[in-house]
C-alpha cells in the first residue's frame, strides 16, 4: 500500500478498546490502512477476530483480545497480551463505553457501577499503566473517546455524562503527568451514524441539535484521531531536524 503522506503510521502499534464495531472499528480500519499494526479489544472475541482479519488482509499484523473494558483484571491481561505480542504500544485509543438512557430515579447501584466502570474506571487503569510504559520508553499517544454529553449533559444520562466528564479531567491530568513524551487528548463526539444508529428513530438519523443540524459521519471523526495519533511523531521529526542543523 502507498503510505498516506499526511498520516503515515507505518510500524506503529495501536491498541483500540471497543474496536470491533462502531467508531472503534472505523478507527481500526483507518489505522491499518495507514500502516499500523492493531490490537483489537472488546467483549466478543469473534467480532474482534473478524476485525483482525480485515487488518491482516491489508498486510498488517493484528491481535484480537476478548476483554471487559470496565474490569481492571481484564485490562491487566490485555496489557500483558499486547506487550507479549508486540513489545510495546505506541497509540492507545480508549474507545469502549456505554450510554444507556435511563431516568435518574430508576438508576440502580449495579447499573451506576457498570456505567462508571466501563466509561471511566477501566479506561483510567488501562491508560495509567500504558502511559507509564510509554513514558519509560519512546513515548506515545493516548486518545480518550469521550462524549459531547460530558460538556452538554442530557436528561436521563447523568451517570454517563458524569463518567465522561471524569474521563475529560483524567485526560488533562495525564497530559500534565506524563507529557511531553506522552501526548494525551480527548475526542468528544456527538451522535454519529455507525451501526448503533440503526436503533434510532428516523428523525434522529437525519437531524441533530448541533451546528450542522445532522449526525456526524464516521470519517469526520476518524481523521481527527489520525491527526492526534500522528502529530507527536511529526513534531519529533521536525525537532530532530532542527537540532541536527
- Residue numbers annotated as active site: 160
Cα separation, 106 vs 159, whole angstroms: 12
What is d(CA 245, CA 189) in angstroms, rounded to the nearest whole number? 41
Q: Are strands 182-187 and 62-66 parallel, antiparallel or unpaired?
A: unpaired
As a whole number of angstroms, the distance between CA 1 and CA 54 comes to 14
* Distance, CA of 236 to CA of 245 (rounded, Å): 14
Of residues 23, 61, 83, the one with CA closest to residue 216: 23
Amino acid at each position: 500500500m502507498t503510505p498516506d503522506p499526511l498520516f503515515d503510521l507505518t510500524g506503529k502499534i495501536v491498541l483500540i478498546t471497543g474496536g470491533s464495531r462502531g467508531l472503534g472499528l472505523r478507527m481500526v480500519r483507518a489505522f491499518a490502512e495507514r500502516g499500523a499494526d492493531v490490537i483489537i479489544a472488546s467483549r466478543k472475541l469473534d467480532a474482534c477476530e473478524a476485525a483482525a482479519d480485515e487488518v491482516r488482509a491489508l498486510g498488517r499484523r493484528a491481535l484480537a483480545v476478548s476483554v471487559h473494558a470496565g474490569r481492571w483484571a481484564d485490562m491487566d491481561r490485555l496489557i500483558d497480551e499486547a506487550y507479549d505480542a508486540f513489545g510495546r504500544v505506541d497509540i492507545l485509543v480508549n474507545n469502549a463505553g456505554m450510554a444507556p438512557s435511563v431516568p435518574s430515579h430508576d438508576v440502580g447501584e449495579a447499573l451506576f457501577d457498570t456505567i462508571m466502570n466501563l466509561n471511566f474506571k477501566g479506561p483510567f487503569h488501562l491508560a495509567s499503566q500504558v502511559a507509564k510504559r510509554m513514558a519509560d520508553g519512546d513515548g506515545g499517544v493516548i486518545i480518550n473517546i469521550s462524549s459531547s454529553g460530558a460538556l452538554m449533559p442530557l436528561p436521563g444520562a447523568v451517570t454517563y455524562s458524569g463518567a465522561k466528564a471524569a474521563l475529560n479531567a483524567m485526560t488533562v491530568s495525564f497530559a500534565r503527568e506524563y507529557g511531553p513524551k506522552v501526548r494525551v487528548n480527548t475526542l468528544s463526539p456527538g451522535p454519529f451514524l455507525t451501526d448503533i444508529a440503526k436503533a434510532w428513530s428516523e428523525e434522529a438519523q437525519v437531524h441533530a441539535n448541533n451546528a450542522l443540524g445532522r449526525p456526524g459521519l464516521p470519517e469526520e471523526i476518524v481523521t481527527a484521531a489520525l491527526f492526534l495519533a500522528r502529530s507527536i511523531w511529526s513534531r519529533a521529526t521536525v525537532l530532530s531536524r532542527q537540532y541536527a542543523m
